[in-house]
Amino acid sequence: MNPRGRFPPGYGNRGGNGPQNPNPNPNPNFYGRNPNQYAPRGNPMQSQQQSQQYQQQWARRSQMGGGDPGTSDVAKTLQSETVGPSSPDWKAQLKIPPRDTRYKTEDVTATKGNEFEDYFLKRELLMGIYEKGFEQPSPIQEESIPIALTGSDILARAKNGTGKTAAFCIPALEKIDQDNNVIQVVILVPTRELALQTSQVCKELGKHLKVQVMVSTGGTSLKDDIMRLYQPVHLLVGTPGRILDLAKKGVCVLKDCSMLIMDEADKLLSPEFQPTIEQLIHFLPANRQILLFSATFPVTVKDFKDRYLPKPYVINLMDELTLKGITQYYAFVEERQKVHCLNTLFSKLQINQSIIFCNSVNRVELLARKITELGFSCFYIHAKMLQDHRNRVFHDFRNGACRNLVCTDLFTRGIDIQAVNVVINFDFPKNAETYLHRVGRSGRFGHLGLAVNLITYEDRFNLYRIEQELGTEIKQIPPQIDQAIYCR
Ligand SMILES: Nc1ncnc2c1ncn2[C@@H]1O[C@H](COP(=O)(O)OP(=O)(O)OP(=O)(O)O)[C@@H](O)[C@H]1O
Ligand SMILES: [Mg+2]
């Protein structure tokens, strides 16, 4: 067996050794999937009432996305088959999830006050939007949805977790002609996990439409993708290499694709991807619309922009770069003290779910083993694992099966797990973009979060430079951290 492809420590130990749980060696450190696992660790200072409120909030997040809609007043579960999208009562039949009452910052609340209904979207699409729990468009959605609907090219920059995905998926879904069985929209993203997540968002938002969404990435069977492409596909989400492969083979026909969306566009235009992207663009018609989205746009993007989107509509919602809801700390440590320091953080912090970044595949595996030995639950993920295993770790971590995830920069961009309230840079990143995207894995949709950076002597200049480049303050970690700054 490929040692890099094995399951992370503690993986699959969900009690019992039945057919679905072949691991004969249950790990006592594994928390198991249990609604109470998100309960705050015992803190005598916290009142019972606060604690209950907190549990309800986080428990709600794990119900989202297909679970029981709950018993909240807002949850309307009228399921009359006789009321269709054309009925005046269409809103009454929606299965709206309970409202998220957690504190949200201005990063998402400072809107113009638009409503999704202002954009004259298809009713079936509106139904999907509301059933996803979106009540009003976020600032980036207010800016980009109406412009994208006009057919203009867009270069959009908005902070992490502020809803860029729906900002491009909603106009894409609106524009697709469901009766024309050709690929009309391609969404490119840099990682397979992000492709899966984005295609899932498209499917959820388009739940009441008849839009056929396909996801296509490396690491899966090419033959299966070819077979799938014989069936109707309207919207294709994927990673550039696989889509180019299919286009070159003539199975993925892009001549009618009028919209190309590049999420994490600066990453897709880095030397690693740019040649693939440029080849791919030549399979699209000349009058295609291109939308570029990211939280970071270094100057490297300029050359591509000048050639392919000469007059884009530019949206820049980043008057500052870091999220208002995230508090950033550093702890000055020696390399050999890092694990001990992490252990202290685990025991002191109120971690709902955490993502812990290392700078190499090897260090991810070593650290995951250490964390498990310390008695904490932990999964790990990196790009050298088999895709099936990556998918299972991603899926199970998202569903709350484990509290901590150790990873490489594979999970730095776009990954949206609302329950993550703590990000730890076990290894400090080398550049400001990577730092920004990493810490943006917590504090999703304007919520609160904490970023803790372990800084060695060698990292000290990087810390200073990144602070300067982002115009942000990373403070020294205090002995006690008030829960109110990352748990509300
Ligand atoms: N209008 C809305 N109302 C409520 N929640 C929303 C709305 N739009 C998006 N969200 C939620 O906000 C979260 C973050 O959205 P998304 O992943 O699109 O952010 P992003 O801007 O792409 O972030 P990143 O830069 O990290 O990729 C998601 O869980 C999404 O469901
Ligand atoms: Mg995103």
- For residues 448 and 485, the answer to whether their CB atoms sit within 8 Å is yes
Q: Which residues line ligand 1 (CB under 6 A)?
A: 134, 137-138, 141, 158, 160-166, 295, 414, 416, 418, 440, 444-445
Q: Given 290, 316, 342, which residue is the final one in a domain? A: 316
Query: Which listed ligand is nearest to 441 at the C-alpha?
Result: 1
Q: Are residues 306 and 202 in the same domain?
A: yes
What's the CA-to-centroid distance between 375 and ligand 2, angstroms?
A: 33
Beta bridge pairs of residue 185: 235, 259
What's the CA-to-centroid distance between 300 and ligand 1, angstroms?
A: 26
**Is the pLDDT score of 429 beyond 90?**
yes
**Is the pLDDT score of 40 beyond 70?**
no
Q: Would you state the pLDDT for residue 12?
A: 29
The pLDDT tens digits of the residues spanning 395-405 come to 999 999 999 99
Q: Are residues 123 and 265 in the same domain?
A: yes
Residue 112 counted as domain residue: yes
Q: Are residues 373 and 429 in the same domain?
A: yes
What domain range is 439 assigned to? 326-485
Q: Are residues 465 and 364 in the same domain?
A: yes
Query: Which listed ligand is nearest to 437 at the C-alpha?
Result: 1
Q: Which of 9-13, 352-356, 469-473 has the lowest mean pLDDT?
A: 9-13
**Is the pLDDT score of 80 beyond 80?**
no
What is the C-alpha R_g of the chain? 22
Residue 60 counted as domain residue: no
Q: How confident is the model at residue 39 (pLDDT cuts 50, 70, 90)?
A: very low
Quote the CA–CA distance of 369 and 278 in Å, as a whole number.
41
Q: What average pLDDT does the segment 435-443 reach?
A: 98
Q: Are residues 336 and 298 in the same domain?
A: no
Q: Would you state the pLDDT for residue 83?
A: 52
The pLDDT tens digits of the residues spanning 377-399 come to 999 999 999 999 999 999 999 99
Name the residue with the closest Cα to ligand 1, atom 25: 160
What's the CA-to-centroid distance between 368 and ligand 2, angstroms?
A: 26
> Counting atoms of ligand 1 from 1, which one is nearest the CA of 440?
26
pLDDT > 90: percent of the chain: 79
Domains of the chain: total: 3
Distance, CA of 72 to chain centre: 26
Residue 59 counted as domain residue: no
Q: Are residues 369 and 259 in the same domain?
A: no
What's the CA-to-centroid distance between 168 and ligand 2, angstroms?
A: 10
Query: What integer best gives the mean pLDDT of the chain?
Result: 86
> Counting atoms of ligand 1 from 1, which one is nearest the CA of 158?
21
Q: Are residues 311 and 331 in the same domain?
A: no
Q: Would you state the pLDDT for residue 488?
A: 85
Query: Which listed ligand is nearest to 295 at the C-alpha?
Result: 1
Q: Are residues 236 and 382 in the same domain?
A: no
Residue 41 counted as domain residue: no
Q: Are residues 278 and 332 in the same domain?
A: no
Residue 113 counted as domain residue: yes
pTM confidence score? 0.85
Q: Are residues 168 and 261 in the same domain?
A: yes
What's the CA-to-centroid distance between 193 and ligand 2, angstroms?
A: 12
Structure-token pair, residue 89? 């009562």
Q: Are residues 153 and 285 in the same domain?
A: yes
What's the CA-to-centroid distance between 17 and ligand 1, angstroms?
A: 38
Q: Given 316, 344, 361, which residue is the final one in a domain? A: 316
pLDDT > 70: percent of the chain: 82
Q: How confident is the model at residue 239 (pLDDT cuts 50, 70, 90)?
A: very high
State the CATH number of the domain containing residue 479: 3.40.50.300
Name the residue with the closest Cα to ligand 1, atom 19: 161
Q: What average pLDDT does the segment 63-86 reach?
A: 45
Q: How confident is the model at residue 285 (pLDDT cuts 50, 70, 90)?
A: very high
Q: What average pLDDT does the segment 256-282 reach?
A: 97
- For residues 382 and 361, the answer to whether their CB atoms sit within 8 Å is yes
Q: Are residues 138 and 231 in the same domain?
A: yes
Q: Would you state the pLDDT for residue 85?
A: 77
Residue 479 counted as domain residue: yes
**Is the pLDDT score of 196 beyond 70?**
yes
Q: Would you state the pLDDT for residue 369?
A: 97
> Counting atoms of ligand 1 from 1, which one is nearest the CA of 162?
21
